[in-house]
Amino acid sequence: MAKRRPAILVLEDGRTFPGEAYGSVGETFGEAVFTTGMTGYQETLTDPSYHRQVVVQTAPHIGNTGVNGEDDESGRIWVAGYVVRDPARIGSNWRATGSLEDRLATEGVVGISGVDTRALTRHLRERGAMRVGISSVDNDPQSLLARVRQAPQMVGADLSTEVTTPEPYVVEAVGEHRFTVAALDLGIKRNVPRRLAARGVTTHVLPAGSNIDDLLATGADAIFLSPGPGDPATADGPVALAREALQRRVPLFGICFGSQILGRALGFGTYKLGYGHRGINQPVLDRVTGKVEVTSHNHGFAVEVPGAGHGAVVPDQVIDTDFGGVRVSHVCLNDNVVEGLRAVDVPAFTVQYHPEAAAGPHDADYLFDRFAELIEGRTHSEGRTNA
Ligand SMILES: NC(=O)CC[C@H](N)C(=O)O
């Protein structure tokens, strides 16, 4: 194999890691975050929620199964940059249609390999997610650092309109049609409408700028608020839409960014986590059933509920909001972060993690059944909730 060009990675606090060019040769900037998933790199790369983030894979061998025509979660790779330890020399899998590195190069994704990703991950875990630059064209850390410090921060970033669908589209129910859902696309992953379709739900996916009348004009029985990149504190339009939906008692389900938006609509704040949750093996307690599920995560922000400081145990009690009582239905067992909300008096619930998985375990798939049950309650007894 030809010798790779040297490359460097510089964090905004000046810590520098040497490596080699991987994927496209060039320079890139973003927020450095790490993901602990041992598998599923293709789904990670194509998840729109990673827009403007430079993803560090803690798993040391990446690219082993190549890339295939089935696992993309959107129409392109979204990560701003890619950091790996040891790229596979040969990708091999019965579904593979090409190599990961060729795809990164084709899509212009600048990466770096040969990085001590354990040291880098520990640094990010201690110091927090921060801006980063990767360059295989300028190997002077000082000049790269100056540009890293000019790159935009993730706090205050409003990115939904950069990733949303330009035009509405429909994903049809599989088998008998039961319900219609309008999804506000703030960075949706393909597996969400797919999991809904498997429950007889037809999903109309609408652009981020849509208003509630646009959503309901699809004939929707319910609204879905999608995952997506950026700081939820900037999502005032979707928050106003969610409040309108809560007022009209339209059944609502939100995932990740959608959870943060619904949290804000209920009157809660959001805050940035130190280094976030990204991986496919995070333990979450479902307080409704008492079961622990192993789940897929990708979030850097979280909902803040009263009475629970960061890292403190969130009380299991009904919290009064503008829309009646709300319970924290799910918590992360690693750090007590709020992982789900369930309204008691209006038909709405959310999770901060990814029941659609892709990549990840399917433990939380039942939440799509809960959504269908919520819609059913609403559809069959006017104005009713799942309380
Ligand atoms: N996957 C997501 O929806 C991420 C939500 C938000 N951008 C966060 O980082 O917390």
258 lines ligand 1 (CB under 6 A): no
229 lines ligand 1 (CB under 6 A): yes
> What is the per-residue pLDDT for 319?
94
Average pLDDT over residues 197-226: 98
Q: What is the pLDDT of residues 150-176, one digit of tens each?
A: 999 999 999 999 999 999 999 999 999
> What is the per-residue pLDDT for 195?
97
Indicate whether 386 pLDDT > 60: no
> What is the per-residue pLDDT for 308?
67
The share of the chain scoring above pLDDT 90, in percent, equals: 93
Looking at ligand 1, which atom is closest to the CA of residue 273? 10
> What is the per-residue pLDDT for 315?
81
pLDDT band at 288 (very low <50, low <70, confident <90, very high): confident
257 lines ligand 1 (CB under 6 A): yes
Scanning the chain, the segments in alpha helix (DSSP H) are 41-45, 100-106, 117-127, 141-148, 160-163, 191-197, 212-216, 236-247, 257-265, 366-380
> What is the per-residue pLDDT for 126?
97
- 354 catalytic, yes or no? yes
Q: What is the pLDDT of residues 175-200, one digit of tens each?
A: 999 999 999 999 999 999 999 999 99
Average pLDDT over residues 353-370: 95
- 256 catalytic, yes or no? yes
Residue nearest to atom 3 of ligand 1 (CA): 227
The sign one gets for the Cα dihedral 378, 379, 381, 383 is positive
| Substitution site in 155, 257, 261 for ligand 1 pocket (most atoms within 8 Å of beta carbon) | 257
CA 143 to ligand 1 center in whole angstroms: 31
Give, in order, the Cα–Cα distances in Å from 370 to each of 164, 199, 223, 377. Answer: 26, 11, 14, 10
Nearest to 297, CA basis, from 276, 269, 273: 276
Average pLDDT, the chain: 95
CA 354 to ligand 1 center in whole angstroms: 10
Residues present in the chain in total? 387
| Substitution site in 45, 47, 49, 74 for ligand 1 pocket (most atoms within 8 Å of beta carbon) | 49
CA 75 to ligand 1 center in whole angstroms: 19
Q: What is the pLDDT of residues 8-62, one digit of tens each?
A: 999 999 999 999 999 999 999 999 999 999 999 999 999 999 999 999 999 999 9
> What is the per-residue pLDDT for 384?
37
> What is the per-residue pLDDT for 378?
59
CATH of domain 160-380: 3.40.50.880
CA 276 to ligand 1 center in whole angstroms: 9
**pLDDT top residue among 381 and 229:** 229
142 known member of a binding site: no
298 lines ligand 1 (CB under 6 A): yes
- Whole-prediction pTM: 0.95
- 107 catalytic, yes or no? no
> What is the per-residue pLDDT for 380?
41
**pLDDT top residue among 3 and 160:** 160
Looking at ligand 1, which atom is closest to the CA of residue 186? 3
Q: How far apart are CA 89 and CA 101, in angstroms?
A: 10
Q: What is the pLDDT of residues 298-334, one digit of tens each?
A: 999 999 998 766 777 888 899 999 999 999 999 999 9
279 lines ligand 1 (CB under 6 A): no
CA 89 to ligand 1 center in whole angstroms: 32
230 lines ligand 1 (CB under 6 A): yes
> What is the per-residue pLDDT for 383?
37
Please pick, among 12, 123, 256, 277, the residue that the annotation labels catalytic.
256
**Extents of the domains making up the chain:** 6-148, 160-380
Average pLDDT over residues 103-116: 98
The sign one gets for the Cα dihedral 329, 332, 336, 339 is negative
CA 347 to ligand 1 center in whole angstroms: 23
124-137: burial string, b at 16+ Cβ within 10 Å, e else: beeeebbbbbbbbe
Q: How far apart are CA 164 and CA 206, in angstroms?
A: 8
CA 302 to ligand 1 center in whole angstroms: 8
318-342: burial string, b at 16+ Cβ within 10 Å, e else: ebebebbebbbbbbbeeebbbbbbb
Phi, psi of 373 (to 5 degrees): -65, -40
30 lines ligand 1 (CB under 6 A): no
pLDDT band at 385 (very low <50, low <70, confident <90, very high): very low
End-to-end C-alpha distance for the chain, whole angstroms: 61
Looking at ligand 1, which atom is closest to the CA of residue 258? 3
* Residue pair 270/337 in contact by the 8 Å Cβ criterion: no
Q: How many CB atoms lie within 10 A of CB 344?
A: 16
Class of CATH domain 6-148: alpha beta
| Alpha-carbon torsion, ordered 334, 340, 345, 346, to 10 deg | 170
pLDDT band at 1 (very low <50, low <70, confident <90, very high): low
Residue nearest to atom 4 of ligand 1 (CA): 299
Cβ contacts of 119-126, under 8 Å, gap ≥ 24: 119/17, 120/9, 120/17, 120/32, 120/34, 120/56, 120/83, 121/34, 121/56, 121/58, 123/11, 123/15, 124/32, 124/33, 124/34, 124/56, 124/275, 125/34, 125/274, 125/275
Average pLDDT over residues 139-149: 98
Average pLDDT over residues 357-383: 83
Looking at ligand 1, which atom is closest to the CA of residue 227? 3
Please pick, among 204, 277, 299, 354, the residue that the annotation labels catalytic.
354
